[in-house]
Homo-oligomer: A and B are copies of this chain.
Amino acid sequence: MNPNRIQKIQTILTERKIDALLVSSSINIRYITGYSGFMSEERDAYIFVTKKYAILFTNTLYFDEVKKSVKDPIKVFLITQLQKTLEEFLKHEKITNIGFEENLTYSEYIRFKKLIGVKLKLAENIIEEIRTIKDQTELKSLHKACNLTDSALDYVLKKIRNGITELELAWEIEKFIREHGGELGFPSIIAFGKNSAIPHHKTDETKLKSSSIVLLDFGAKAGGYCADMTRTVFFGKAPEKFKRMYETVRIGQEKGFKPKMFTPQDLDKIPRDYIISQGYPNIPHSVGHGVGLAVHELPHISPGIKEKINPNTPFTIEPGIYINGFGGVRIEDTVYFDGEKINLLTQSPKNLIEL
Footprint of B on A, CB under 8 Å? 36-37, 39-42, 60-62, 64-65, 100, 102-110, 122, 124, 171, 174-175, 178-179, 186-187, 197-202, 284-285, 294, 296, 324
A199 neighbours in B (Cβ, 8 Å): 60-61
Given contacts A61-B284, A102-B105, A106-B105, contact A37 B200 (CB under 8 A): yes
A284 neighbours in B (Cβ, 8 Å): 60-61
- Please give me the residue from chain B that is nearest to A200 by CB atom: B61
Partner of A106, one of B122, B171, B179: B122
A41 neighbours in B (Cβ, 8 Å): 40, 294
A195 → B minimal CB distance (Å): 9
A201 neighbours in B (Cβ, 8 Å): 65
A42 neighbours in B (Cβ, 8 Å): 296
- A sample of 18 cross-chain residue pairs with beta-carbon separation below 8 angstroms, ordered by A number, consists of A36-B202, A37-B200, A37-B202, A40-B41, A60-B284, A61-B198, A61-B199, A65-B200, A65-B201, A100-B106, A102-B106, A104-B105, A105-B105, A106-B106, A106-B109, A107-B124, A171-B178, A175-B175
A316 → B minimal CB distance (Å): 15
A200 vs B60: C-alpha distance in the bound complex, in angstroms? 10
A303 vs B161: C-alpha distance in the bound complex, in angstroms? 55
- Please give me the residue from chain B that is nearest to A107 by CB atom: B102
A107 neighbours in B (Cβ, 8 Å): 102, 122, 124
Given contacts A42-B296, A60-B284, A284-B60, contact A202 B105 (CB under 8 A): no
* Of A65, A100, A105, A197, most B-chain CB atoms within 10 Å: A105
Given contacts A65-B202, A104-B106, A106-B100, contact A60 B175 (CB under 8 A): no
A105 vs B171: C-alpha distance in the bound complex, in angstroms? 34
A39 vs B144: C-alpha distance in the bound complex, in angstroms? 25
- Please give me the residue from chain B that is nearest to A179 by CB atom: B171
A106 vs B324: C-alpha distance in the bound complex, in angstroms? 37
Given pairs A41-B294, A60-B199, A106-B108, 17 additional interface contacts (CB within 8 A): A42-B296, A60-B284, A61-B198, A61-B285, A64-B198, A64-B324, A65-B198, A65-B200, A65-B201, A102-B105, A104-B105, A105-B105, A105-B106, A106-B106, A107-B122, A171-B179, A175-B175
A63 → B minimal CB distance (Å): 9
A178 neighbours in B (Cβ, 8 Å): 171, 174
A62 neighbours in B (Cβ, 8 Å): 200
A266 vs B292: C-alpha distance in the bound complex, in angstroms? 46
A339 vs B215: C-alpha distance in the bound complex, in angstroms? 49
- Please give me the residue from chain B that is nearest to A109 by CB atom: B106
A108 neighbours in B (Cβ, 8 Å): 106
A199 vs B61: C-alpha distance in the bound complex, in angstroms? 6
A105 neighbours in B (Cβ, 8 Å): 102-106
A284 vs B65: C-alpha distance in the bound complex, in angstroms? 14
